[in-house]
Amino acid sequence: MKFFTVGPAELYPTCQQHYQTAFEQQIGSISHRSEAFRKIYQHTDEQLRALLNIPATHQIYFTSSATEIWERLLLNLVDQYSFHFVQGAFSQKFYDYANSLQKKPTLHKVQDGLGFENLNEINIEENTELICFTQNETASGIRVPEDEMSASKPRFTNALICCDVVSAVPYVAVDFTTMDSAFFSVQKGMGMPPGLGVWIVNEACLNKAEQLKQNGKNIGAHFQLSAFAKNYKKFETPSTPNTMAIYVLGKIAEDMNNYGIQKIRQETETKFETLYDFIQQEERFHFLSSNKNHLSRTTMVANSTIAASELNKKLKPHEMIIASGYGSFKDQQIRIANFPSIKMDELENLLSVI
C-alpha cells in the first residue's frame, strides 16, 4: 500500500533498513547516558542542522510529539500572553492548549480554508510574549509563507516567535535568524513511524524560561527547558527518550542530505504544481482559497464532491490510500501528502486512478 496520507504517512524508503540496523546494533538496549547514545544524538543533531539550516544559535531537543511541544512552549515561554495565528484545527488546538493552561491567549483566526492577508499589518499587542505560527496547517492545507513569518521578527522585538513546521519539514526553509523556536514530529515529511518530536530553541527561549522560573511561575515539571539545556551540553536528554527513533531520524536526515535538500525542494514544488493543476482542472475538487501562495506545498487539501472514503475504495485495488478531511470536514475534503517519500511517477499514478 502506498500512503498518500498526511501523517502518519508513507515511510522514507530507507526507514525500515535503519531500524533493522538499529536492532543489530542493539540501540534499543543502550543507556541514554552512554557514549554510544551521545554519538547518536550528536549525529542526528549535525544532520538536522545541515538539512534544515539550523544555526549554532539554536539547540535541538527531543520530545515524543509536536502536540506535546505546544504545551511545553506555552509553559516555558509564556506567563500570560500568547498570540495565535489560526488557520485550521491544529493551530486552533495550539490556542486551546493556552486556554487550558489558563493563559490569556489572543486568537487571530481566518475563515476555513483561507490564509492570512496582509499578515504583517495585523495588530499584535505590545505585551505579547509568544507569537505562534502554524507554518503548514495539516488540517486546512493553508500555509504561512516563510518570508511573511520572517517579517514579524523586526516588528516584535519583545516577543518570542515560534512556528509549528510539523508537516512542512524538510521542505520548508525556516530563516532561524528570525525564529526563536520551531518544532515538528517525524511521521510526516521525515517518513518515520510516529513517536518522536523535535524541538528547536534559541537562547532567548532558555532565558525566558529561566526568568519565569526565577519569578516563581509554574513552568511545568517534565521537560523544563533548563533540563534540556543542561543535558544537551553532553548530548543527553532529561529522561529516557525514544532512542531508536533518534538514531533513525539522524540516518534519514543523512540520506536526505546526500540526496540534496535543494533537489527535494525542487521535486516537492514540481509535484505540487502537478497536484495543483489537477485539482484546478477537475470539476469534483476545488480549493477554498484562490491565493496560490497560501496553499501548502506539502499537504494539499481540497473540497471534494466525493468523500475520501469513496475515493479510497477505488484506490484500494491499486494499493493506494489518501487522507480524508480533518474533523468535521471528513467527508467534504480530501488531503494528499506531497512528502519526499512520494515520487512524481507515484503521484501521477494516483491522479490517473482518481
Among 123, 218, 289, 299, contact with its own copies (rule: CB under 8 A): 218
Please identify, using beta-carbon distances, which residue of 7 and 115 lies nearer to its own copies: 7
Judged by CB under 8 A, does residue 65 bind its own copies?
yes
CB of 154 to its own copies, least distance (A): 31
Please give the residues from 243 up to 282 whose contact with its own copies meets the rule CB under 8 A: 243-245
DSSP 295: B
Judged by CB under 8 A, does residue 211 bind its own copies?
no
> What are the cell numbers at 56?
549554532
Q: Could you report how far apart the first and last alpha carbons of the chain are, in Å?
A: 16
CB of 237 to its own copies, least distance (A): 10
Cα separations in angstroms, 57 against 49, 115, 181:
11, 30, 11
Among 348, 299, 285, which Cα is nearest to 320's?
348
- Which residues, at least 6 apart from 207, have a Cβ–Cβ distance to it below 8 Å? none
Please identify, using beta-carbon distances, which residue of 50 and 321 lies nearer to its own copies: 321
Question: How far apart are alpha carbons 194 and 197 in whole angstroms?
Answer: 9
CB of 65 to its own copies, least distance (A): 6
- Which residues, at least 6 apart from 257, have a Cβ–Cβ distance to it below 8 Å? 47, 50, 51
Judged by CB under 8 A, does residue 96 bind its own copies?
yes
Among 42, 57, 100, 177, contact with its own copies (rule: CB under 8 A): 100
Among 40, 48, 54, 74, contact with its own copies (rule: CB under 8 A): 74
- Which residues, at least 6 apart from 212, have a Cβ–Cβ distance to it below 8 Å? 76, 77, 79, 219
Residues forming contacts to its own copies in the complex (CB under 8 A) are 1, 3, 5, 7-11, 15-16, 19-20, 23, 26-32, 63-65, 67-68, 70-71, 74, 96-98, 100-102, 185, 187, 192-196, 218-222, 224, 239-245, 323
